[in-house]
Amino acid sequence: MTKLIMNILTLDSKHLVVDWLSFNLEGLMDPRIIARRLSKDFTPHVLMDDVPSIGFHGFKKKYKVSIRHYTGSKGYWVGTKIIFSGKDAAYFYKLIKTQRFDWGLLKFDEHSLSLGRIDLCFSRPNDFNHTSKSFDGFLVDSRSQIQNHTNTCHIRLQDFPDGKILKVNRRNNSVHYRVYKKNQRVRFEIELKHRQKKLVQDYLFQNQLDIFEHRLVIQYFQYSERVLCLDYPYTDWILDFQRRYQKYQVLNPTYRSLVTSYLENQRIKNQDEEGRFFHLLQFLSFIKNLELNPRKDCKKQRIKKQNYYVLKIPLSQFVGFMGIKTFKDSQRKKLILYFKKLQKLDPIVKEFSNGAFRSYVCIWSSSRTIPCSSALTVWVIFS
């Protein structure tokens, strides 16, 4: 069961990239030894107390590693930091994951090795209709959410070359989080250090990468949910994670029944209302069974400040889900009526304030087309 869980929540499956990976070696030693050991795959850059001191000009590898040795002369920690950043970190982790890196290269007698810091990054395209004003509004509302719902005191919203950047916590905290735009993409980065990195480092060194990645994914999404305002299209990837991985689903991913914790307990007044509600549950179960990726499998539309997804469904696929073995013309008409009734559902969500209210519909539109005599396709726009 544990193996099955870990295979689901991987960095690749959630489009998370290792953006920084560093290690600490305690005590005085010759950093050139580390540089030579890593020179097979990386061009080493060695610094002594933050001053470049040793050049390895004969090494011209595509990827680099920074080796920073500290002697304690400035009252700083005594030891060596081995740092992979950006694409170098992603490549180094790929070597680990494909078992092409020997941990013995970083092991020395009388010098303990520990994980220094690990950064994870999710980046998404900044759609052409997402203006700087809307992105700044997203960051401002996220800052307000942090101030109102967390104990975090250090929050910074600063100017950045491509707009503003939101920083949560100080850089020396166990968790540091930031959101900003770069090269037409929005980046969501988390830094894990100190206590947080200690929770996972043993799994990394023991090559238990399934557990290592599982814990990182959970940590990343849980923290993102806490600090980001989810009412903007920039966070649709978090909402997708929430729908897919409720707490019990993480514990038991084979349990694929419909999540109903968001439903209110109300008395159904008549048979028609009961039928519409039952149809909605059927349709939601069908959508869940498809295991869609909203970013790839659906076309997103923004309607009155609400995200909707356009889905093309072959009717035969829905028939198979319903367990109908023989599909007669009368049944086809009933299913067409079924999708028509989805549009008549009352608004599902209502948000009231003192002076106004807002209501959303779950199914905005439902229509059908007949491309040929033997097939019928249903188009549904849903939230």
Each residue's pLDDT tens digit, 64-78: 999 999 998 877 789
Enter the DSSP assignment of 258: P
**Does residue 144 register a pLDDT over 50?**
yes
Q: What is the pLDDT of residue 43?
A: 92
Q: Are 363 and 342 contacting, i.e. CB atoms less than 8 angstroms apart? A: yes
**Does residue 176 register a pLDDT over 50?**
yes
pLDDT tens column, 177-196: 999 999 889 999 999 999 99
Taking the C-alpha atoms of residue 101 and residue 94, their distance in angstroms, rounded to an integer, is: 9
Give 240's pLDDT tier (boundaries 50, 70, 90). Answer: confident
Residue-by-residue DSSP string for 206-256? TT-HHHHHHHHHHHHHHHHHHHS-TTSGGGHHHHHHHHH--HHHHH-TT--
Enter the pTM of the model.
Answer: 0.66
pLDDT tens column, 290-308: 767 666 677 777 776 666 7
